[in-house]
Structure 1
Amino acid sequence: MQIIEAIESDYKFITGRDRHINEQLVESKIKNGEIYILVEENIRIGWMRFGYFWDNLPFMNMLWLDEEYRGQGFGKKVVEHWEEKMKNKGFNQVMTSTQANEGAQHFYRKLGYKDVGCLLLENEPLEILMAKKL
């Protein structure tokens, strides 16, 4: 598997699948190098995008793999790749979150993420905030 920074031509791939981000923000995230594309045998199989919590703490906003590629270690590889990039930029901690009704919380805990708080929005499941020291 390859992990590459998204480029302009990835815009349709991302916006066609990512329903959790305003399409106008995708362009700026691509320009800022904040979206990685996962490629397996020349096929784009998913992406990971991030931003910065409080504008100074790397925060993984979304990790997505097409259904048929889940459970094969691709997610772990992209998270570790991102963590290494953030460490090389001088960060000593990263964050993410997941809803309490999603299995992703167990995935992140296996990778060393710890629960650090939660957020409860009206008509939404509990959002678990997680952090990891690098």
Structure 2
Amino acid sequence: MTAAVFIDEAGAGDLAWLIEADRHVPEAWVRRCIDHGEYLIARHADVPLGFLRYSWFWGTIPFMDLIWVDPAHRRTGVGRALVARWEADMRERGAEVLLTSSMSDEPEPQAWHRRNGFTECGQLTFGVAQPTPEVFFVKDLQRSGRPHALSG
């Protein structure tokens, strides 16, 4: 792992960096997520190395929207540290499962999710908005490591 990585919630001072780093969402969403405490940032010597953005599926299940680590710091444990902190925070808030996803044509991110204890639980397509299937993963915080499927 990168030496002395510190992870905390994003604050107003992180806005400019997050707007630049998180190009998947508009500035208004970045602001909203900061206001709701839905970003975790990994830092070394006050320099941001990566972030984890999440939201709440059905208003009750923590869903990792995106995890991003600066290319120079990938494969050093920063992403794993972000997930571990998020998992601990969500356990503390009473979450029973975590949910995340990856595109079906992205085998590397899928393998990363599995290495971090997530189990595939289904796929969805979103018509013309996203014809490539999205693979969903769940991590059961009560039976960590054992397969779990969402029913529906």
Q: Give me the TM-score of the superposition, normalised by structure 2.
A: 0.84
Corresponding residue SS for 1:125: strand
The size of the alignment, in residue pairs, is 134
Identity in percent: 31
Would you say 1:32 and 2:36 are equivalent positions?
Answer: yes
Q: Per-residue displacement from partner, 1:76-120 (whole Å, max 9, x unpaired)? A: 111011011100111110100111222111011011111111121
Pick aligned residue for 2:27 from 4, 23, 27: 23
Task: Summarize the alignment of residues 1-134 of structure 1 with structure 2, pairs less than 5 Å apart.
Answer: 1-102=5-106, 103-121=108-126, 122=128, 123-134=130-141
Task: Please identify runs of 4+ aligned residues in structure 1 that moved more than 4 A.
Answer: none
Q: Give me the TM-score of the superposition, normalised by structure 1.
A: 0.94
Separation (CA, whole Å) in 1 of partners of 2:46 and 2:59:
34
Separation (CA, whole Å) in 2 of partners of 1:120 and 1:19:
22
Return the offset for 1:41.
Answer: 2.7
Q: Per-residue displacement from partner, 1:38-60 (whole Å, max 9, x unpaired)? A: 10232111111100011110000
The CA RMSD measured in Å over matched residues stands at: 1.2
Separation (CA, whole Å) in 2 of partners of 1:109 and 1:124:
23
Instruction: Please tell me whether the aligned partners of residues 121 and 137 of structure 2 are also in contact (alpha carbons under 8 angstroms).
Output: yes
Worse-superposed segment, 12-21 or 51-60 = 12-21
Instruction: Please tell me whether the aligned partners of residues 50 and 78 of structure 2 are also in contact (alpha carbons under 8 angstroms).
Output: no
